[in-house]
Copies of this chain bind each other. A is one copy, B any other.
Amino acid sequence: MVPNKFDLKSYLKERAQKIEKTLERYFPSEKNYAKRVISAGKYSVFAGGKRIRPILCLAGCEVVGGEWEKILLFAAGIECIHTYSLIHDDLPCMDDDDFRRGKPSCHKAFDEATAILAGDGLQALAFYFFTHPELVKNIKKTRLLKAIHFISKVIGFEGMVGGQMVDLLMEGKKGSLKVIKWIHLNKTTKLIEASVVSGALLGGGTFKELKALSFYGKNLGYAFQIIDDLLDILGDEKELGKKTFSDIKKQKLTYPKLIGIEKTKELAKKYTEKAILALTSFKEKGIPLKSIAEFLLNRVY
């Protein structure tokens, strides 16, 4: 059910709060010798963040008629994966970023070893959530296993990990539009697409619905990373919670570098429009996903 006047702000707030409550409730307790690494994981998970990926997962469930409250643990697991990837990406030997979500990066607040382990622990925790009895009891097991399989593929060698590798390898190098699109696809787009599609899979979506949402997610994911590249140049450090011009300093391969700011803006708009077009068949029920796409296009953080 989508209310006549859709209020995106309270929609996002409600979902983010529920996701955070789920994370709090199921996060391992800091009451043992390993307190330090659990604290580091918590530090990064609860440092704020838009919670866009888990929100997309819940929205994917709802748009196909599923009950989103029933898959909160799955959505929370996706946020653990996203946070682990940020912690590892920020490491000195990777992107070497000292700030994240307005606070010192995990390896700055703790140390490198703790940050690597916190990331590792968060990846494991994601799959612990994905297979938690409290989730399993709500979902058809065949669909759940398919969703986990999909996520594990898009975050691995043939997805996020591969994308981050090539992102690093292309620093300071000349790259083509083909390469940058490949990096964006793997580093960012695939997990965003998988977030919404896995939600729909768990919510009982049909093949046709999953296909439409895959198209939505892919285009949204491209738009998202392109806007990320733009914000590195046009954004405000305070709003972003991280340093601007960091891509330029690191000589990262970005769209603004290849085609200029104006053309990059047009491209983000084009991808967003394509994403929204994919929602046509959902009619009114597609309003939240449409609003999210518009919000991400115009975001300042």
Using a CB–CB distance below 8 Å, which chain A residues touch chain B? Answer: 28, 32-34, 36-38, 41, 84, 88, 91, 93-94, 111-114, 116-117, 119-121, 123-125, 127-128, 130-133, 136, 141-142, 144-146, 148-149, 152-153, 155-159, 161-166, 168-169, 179, 182-183, 186
Distance in angstroms from A180 CB to nearest chain B CB is: 11
Contact of A155 among B34, B124, B149, B159 (CB under 8 A): B124
Whether A124 lies near B121 (C-beta < 8 A) is no
Are A124 and B123 closer than 8 Å at their CB atoms?
yes
Q: Are A125 and B156 in contact (CB under 8 A)?
A: yes
* Structural contact, B34 and A114, CB atoms closer than 8 A: no
Beta-carbon contact of B158 and A34 below 8 Å: yes
Cβ contacts under 8 Å, A124 to chain B: 123, 152-153, 155-157, 159, 161
Q: How far is the CB of A253 from chain B (nearest CB, A)?
A: 12
Q: Are A93 and B120 in contact (CB under 8 A)?
A: no
A93 adjacent to B111 (CB under 8 Å)? yes
| CB-nearest residue of chain B to A147 | B131
Decide: A34 and B163 in contact? CB cutoff 8 A: yes
A121 in contact with B162 (CB, 8 Å): yes
Q: How far apart are A152's CB and chain B's nearest CB, in angstroms?
A: 4
A149 near B162 with CB under 8 A, answer: no
Query: Cβ of B113 and Cβ of A36 under 8 Å apart?
Result: no
Q: Cβ of B116 and Cβ of A34 under 8 Å apart?
A: no
Q: Choose among A33, A84, A125 the residue with the greatest number of B CB atoms under 10 Å from its CB.
A: A33
Which residue of the partner chain B has the closest CB to A183?
B33
B165 and A117 contacting across the interface, CB-CB below 8 Å: yes
Select A28's contact among B33, B91, B156, B179, beta carbons within 8 Å: B156
Contacts A34-B157, A127-B148, A152-B131 given: A94-B113 contact, CB under 8 Å? yes
Chain B residues closer than 8 Å to A33, beta-carbon distance: 162, 166, 169, 179, 182-183
**Which residue of chain B lies nearest to A114 when distances are taken between CB atoms in the complex?**
B165
Answer whether A116 and B91 are a contact pair too, CB < 8 Å, given A37-B157, A156-B124. yes
Given A162-B34, A182-B33, verify A125-B157 contact (CB < 8 Å): yes
- State how many angstroms separate the Cβ of A51 from the closest Cβ of chain B: 21
Is there contact, CB below 8 Å, between B116 and A93? Answer: yes
Contact yes or no, A116 B88, CB < 8 A: yes
| B145 and A141 within 8 A (CB) | yes
- Given A123-B120, A165-B36, A165-B117: A136 touches B131 (CB 8 Å cut-off): no
Residues of B within 8 Å of A120, CB to CB, are 84, 88, 119-120, 123, 161
Apart from the given pairs A34-B157, A34-B162, A124-B157, 16 other A-B contacts in the complex at a CB distance below 8 Å: A32-B158, A34-B158, A37-B162, A38-B157, A38-B162, A88-B116, A117-B161, A117-B165, A124-B161, A131-B146, A131-B148, A133-B149, A136-B142, A141-B145, A144-B145, A145-B145
Interface centre among A157, A159, A163, A165 (most CB of B within 10 A): A157
**With the chains together, A132 CA to B141 CA distance in Å?**
13
